[in-house]
Amino acid sequence: MGKKTKLALAIAAASAAAWAGSKAVLKPQKRERKDVLQFDRPIVLAHRGGSHLAPEHTKPAFEKAVELGVDGFEVDIRLTKDEEIIVFHDDTVDRTTDGTGFVKDYTLQELSQLNHGFHFIDLEGNAPYKEEKLSVLTLRELLVEFPDIYINIDIKDSPDTYEGSLMPSKLWRLIEELQAQNRVVVTSFYSEQIDRFNLYAQNRVALGAGETDIRKAFAAFTSQFGHFYHPKVDVFQIPPKHGVISLDMPKFIAYLGNLNIPVHYWTINEPDMMERLIKRGAKGIVTDRPDLAVPLVQKLHDKSNSDSEQ
């Protein structure tokens, strides 16, 4: 046996020993369970209020979603020129009547003059809100109007902007003032925003995974060192696929579940996909079509209970 072969075998043996040692010493660090995420069945979150049924992020959308029986809302937030937190997705207001420019350049009063349902087309091809004046909603109004609804709050303003730098502290103060700590989840595409928010919240609010958190978890899952992963968040809200990477594998869902991290998938509007994800272990469906999702999820839950009783 040559020296190179002996060296390679020694390195392999040392690596295996290190891996085995780490497995014996390190145990996966589970997240402490958050009340807002404790459901005995999969849940349905209305994406922006159910944006295929009524204009997104408007009062009619949220009211319709509640009537349909959703468990919660998935909303986006941005900061206005006068530093009010509104529920709004785009950084511009181009999709409203006479609306041009960026949200950050408008005051709440100015935004309230625009019709946020002007461009909405319903499933029958009609524009029922074109002549109405649907005002923008503040996050405060949403939290007060729907006190019993779980709300997933997605920070859209980048941490590199003035608005984004203010958002974590302003959001925490609002949640604390309204005592909404146990009925919201705060998340963002920007993991830095989640970390900044948690400097104020100190894990008193459930946190969703940002892009960096998702990458770390998936890398740990696919490696031999998954036991090194210590999550900083409480729920993963992700698409079934990111590029060529499948994020809906049952083993990945179970891996996160073992760490007390439920997985919610967005934005799922096809019943076949909803059923497939739930059967794979998904704990939540984020959808524009709560009219389809709510009865389907209930049917699957009833069937599961019936099967377990037999």
Label residues 91-125 b or e (16+ Cβ within 10 Å = b). Answer: bebebbeebeeebbebebebbbebbbbbebeeeee
**Which position has the higher pLDDT, 227 or 33?**
33
CA dihedral for 286, 288, 290, 291, sign (positive or negative) = negative
Q: What is the CB neighbour count within 10 angstroms for residue 29?
A: 13
What is the Cα–Cα distance from 76 to 103, expressed in whole angstroms? 13
Amino acid identity at 248: D
Residue 18: per-residue pLDDT: 42
pLDDT in tens, 101-110: 999 999 999 9
Mean pLDDT of 208-231: 87
Domain boundaries, the chain: 28-91+137-309
Cross-strand pairs, 284: 43, 264
pLDDT tens-digit readout, 41-81:
999 999 999 999 999 999 999 999 999 999 999 999 999 99
Q: Are strands 263-265 and 236-238 parallel, antiparallel or unpaired?
A: parallel
Please, which pLDDT band fits residue 147 given cuts at 50, 70 and 90? very high
Average pLDDT over residues 124-147: 94
Check: CB of residue 205 under 8 Å from CB of residue 186: yes
With 0-12 / 13-18 / 19 or more C-beta atoms within 10 angstroms meaning exposed / middle / buried, residue 193 is buried
pLDDT of residue 225: 65
pLDDT for the residue 133: 85
CATH (one of 1.10.1660.10, 3.40.50.880, 1.10.520.10, 3.20.20.190) for 28-91+137-309: 3.20.20.190
Report the DSSP pairing between strands 206-207 and 43-47: unpaired
d(CA 88, CA 65): 17
> Is a pLDDT exceeding 60 seen at residue 160?
yes
Strand partners, 155: 77, 188
> How far is the C-alpha of 194 from the C-alpha of 236, rounded, in Å?
13
User: How much is the average pLDDT of 216-224?
Assistant: 89
